[in-house]
Amino acid sequence: MIFQLNKSINERIKLPQKYNVELYLKREDCIHNFVSGNKYRKLKYNLEEAKYNGFKTLLTFGGAYSNHIAAVAFAGKTFGFNTIGVIRGEELEGKIDTNPTLQFAKACGMQFKFITRDAFRLKNTNRFLNVLKKEFGGFYLIPEGGTNTLAVKGCQEILNNTDADFNFICVSVGTGGTISGLINSSEANQEILGFPALKGSFLQEDIIKFVTKKNWSLTTNYHFGGYAKINADLVHFINQFKENQNIQLDPIYTGKMMFGIFDLIKKGYFPEGSKILAIHTGGIQGIKGMNGILKKKKLPLIAYENE
């Protein structure tokens, strides 16, 4: 039970000559049209586990523009699972048709349950899970963001043996599953640098649950105020990057990471001669929704050809 995958290549990023480092971007965003990047890696072994144990239904949690919700919906459609998305924000119930992510998930057959932000915080309690079981019957539970042991196992497959000569591996961090996989499959002399897309100190502990190595750190200066927070500078950076490199970044994760990498290069963080590999974890489906928000705020839009 595996998707047909495209190859994920390491693409050289053009940098001004004065910076004596090499930067490559691993195009995990290209491995699949709908289940792109790390969301595919995180689902792979979970889908096998669900099938093996005879589950007919997948249930998971997410926000209004979640890449994970879109990925689970598509995977369910492809492999014959019913899918249920428990969505943060009751007010979204009447707005499915103006939300590109929810629209896509619905078209894939996902059934939604909209809950308040307060209820969402309690989503992992036994009490709430029992409510869900009464409502939907048995289901295979995939956590918010898709991170669990099997997801980390899948993310260990992002790096391959041709990546061993990179000195630094850079990745965006949401729930920490992807960076955990990268850490586990890294070489001892490589340094894994995570760029959290949100504020909060809990991530460090979440990652430690999945890894034993110590060759990693998080740089907390590039979250732009928090999850899905974005400003005109970041939009400008993403559009400039697209123009110069012909690669689309997303505003929630990979745009912030790449902004951070460029800033660290300028500041001389990476020693001369360093070879840096950044992971393009995907997330392109989130651009439409973000542009809707930017439009309302009268901020510049992300250049995106599918609009």
Ligand X SMILES: *Cc1c(COP(=O)(O)O)cnc(C)c1O
Q: Which is nearer to ligand X, 37 or 85 (CB)?
A: 37
Determine the residue with CB nearest ligand X.
Answer: 283
Q: Is the distance from CB of 84 to CB of 58 less than 8 angstroms? A: yes
Based on the shown chain and the rule CB under 6 A, indicate whether residue 253 belongs to the binding site for ligand X. Answer: yes
Per-residue x/- marks for ligand X, 127-146, CB under 6 A? Answer: ------------------x-
Bridging pattern class, strands 22-26 and 82-88: unpaired
Per-residue x/- marks for ligand X, 93-122, CB under 6 A? Answer: ------------------------------
Q: Which stretch binds ligand X (CB under 6 A): 124-132, 175-183, 226-234, 295-303?
A: 175-183
Q: Which stretch binds ligand X (CB under 6 A): 46-54, 96-104, 120-128, 280-288?
A: 280-288
Based on the shown chain and the rule CB under 6 A, indicate whether residue 173 belongs to the binding site for ligand X. Answer: yes
Q: Is the distance from CB of 194 to CB of 188 less than 8 angstroms? A: no
Assigned token pair, 177: 């599953």
Site for ligand X in 10-49 (CB under 6 A): 37-39
Q: Which is nearer to ligand X, 73 or 298 (CB)?
A: 73
Selected from 60, 190, 219, 254, the binder of ligand X by CB under 6 A is 254
Q: In angstroms, rounded to a whole number, what is the distance separating the alpha carbons of residues 275 and 255?
A: 20
Neighbour order of strands in the sheet with 82-88: 111-115, 82-88, 57-62, 140-142
- Three-class secondary structure of residue 240 per DSSP: helix
Judged by CB under 6 A, the number of residues near ligand X is 21
Q: Residue 215 burial by CB count (10 A; 0-12/13-18/19+): exposed, middle or buried?
A: middle
Selected from 76, 85, 283, 289, the binder of ligand X by CB under 6 A is 283
Q: Strand locations in the chain, DSSP E? A: 10-12, 22-26, 57-62, 82-88, 111-115, 140-142, 168-173, 191-196, 216-218, 275-279
Based on the shown chain and the rule CB under 6 A, indicate whether residue 147 belongs to the binding site for ligand X. Answer: yes
Q: Which residues bind ligand X (CB under 6 A)?
A: 37-39, 67-68, 145, 147, 172-179, 250, 253-254, 281-283
